[in-house]
Chains A and B, each alone.
Chain A
Amino acid sequence: METLITILSGVLVTVATYLILSKSVMRVILGTAILSHAAHLLIMTMGGLKTGSVPILGEGDSNVDALPQALILTSIVISFAVTAVSLVLAYRIYKETKTDDLYELRGFKDE
Chain B
Amino acid sequence: MNNILVLPMAIPVLAGIILIFFRPYIKLQRWISLCVMIVNAGIAIYLLNRIQAEGIVGLNFGGWEPPFGIVFVADSFSAILILTTSIVAAICLLYAFSTIGKDHENMFFYSFVNFLVAGVNGSFLTGDLFNLYVCFEVMLVASYVLLALGGKKVQLKESIKYVVINVISSWFFLVAIAYLYGMVGTLNMAHLSERIAESGQTPLLTTISIVFLTVFALKSGLLLYYWLPGSYSAPPTAVAALFGALLTKVGVYAMFRVFTLLFYHELSFTHTIIGVLAGLTLIGGSIGAVAYRDIRQIISYNVIIAIGFILVGLAIATPEAIEGSIYYLVHDMIVKALLFLLAGSMIMLTGTARIDYMSGLIRNYPLLGWMFFIVMLSLAGIPPLSGFIGKVLVGQGAVETGSYLLLALAFLSSIVVLYSLLRVFLNCFWGETIISEEDERPQKKGWLIPCAILTIATIGLGLGAESLAPYVSNAADTLLNPDKYIDAVLYD
Contacts and interface: CB of A to CB of B under 8 A. Distances in A.
Q: Does A associate with B in a complex?
A: yes
Interface of A: 20, 25, 28, 32, 35-36, 38-40, 42-43, 45-48, 67-68, 71, 74-75, 78, 81-82, 85-86, 89-90, 92-93, 96-97, 102, 105-106, 108, 110-111
B134 A46 contact: no
Nearest to A17: B168
B134 A39 contact: no
Interface in B125-142: 130, 133-134, 137, 140-141
A111 B182 CA distance: 47
B175 A81 contact: no
Contacts of A42: 174-175, 178
A89 B159 contact: yes
Given A42-B178, A89-B148, A89-B163, A78 B134 contact: yes
Describe A's contact surface by its main secondary structure. helix
B130 A85 contact: no
B160 A71 contact: no
B154 A68 contact: no
B17 to A, nearest CB: 15
B153 to A, nearest CB: 5
Interface residues of B, number: 31
Contacts of A110: 152-154
23 contacts: A20-B168, A28-B164, A32-B168, A35-B167, A35-B168, A36-B174, A38-B171, A67-B181, A71-B177, A74-B134, A75-B133, A78-B134, A86-B160, A89-B144, A89-B148, A92-B156, A93-B156, A93-B157, A93-B160, A96-B153, A97-B153, A105-B160, A110-B152
Interface of B: 130, 133-134, 137, 140-141, 144-145, 148, 151-154, 156-157, 159-160, 163-164, 167-168, 170-171, 174-175, 177-179, 181-182, 187
Nearest to A83: B167
A47 B182 CA distance: 6
A105 B141 contact: no
B174 A39 contact: yes
Contacts of B140: 82
A82 B182 contact: no
A74 B178 CA distance: 14
Contacts of A105: 157, 160
Nearest to B160: A89
A10 to B, nearest CB: 12
A110 B152 CA distance: 10
A61 B148 CA distance: 52
Contacts of A47: 178, 181-182
Given A39-B175, A43-B177, A43-B181, A78 B164 contact: no
A111 B181 CA distance: 45
Contacts of B133: 75
Contacts of A85: 141, 144-145, 163
B134 to A, nearest CB: 6
B121 to A, nearest CB: 18
Contacts of A39: 171, 174-175, 178
A89 B154 contact: no
Given A71-B130, A85-B145, A108-B154, A78 B137 contact: yes
Contacts of B177: 43, 71
B174 A92 contact: no
A79 to B, nearest CB: 8
B369 to A, nearest CB: 27
Contacts of A45: 178, 182
Contact of B178 (A43, A81, A108): A43
A55 B120 CA distance: 34
Contacts of A111: 154
A22 to B, nearest CB: 12
Contacts of B178: 39, 42-43, 45-47
B179 A46 contact: yes
Contacts of B179: 46
A71 to B, nearest CB: 6
B160 A90 contact: yes
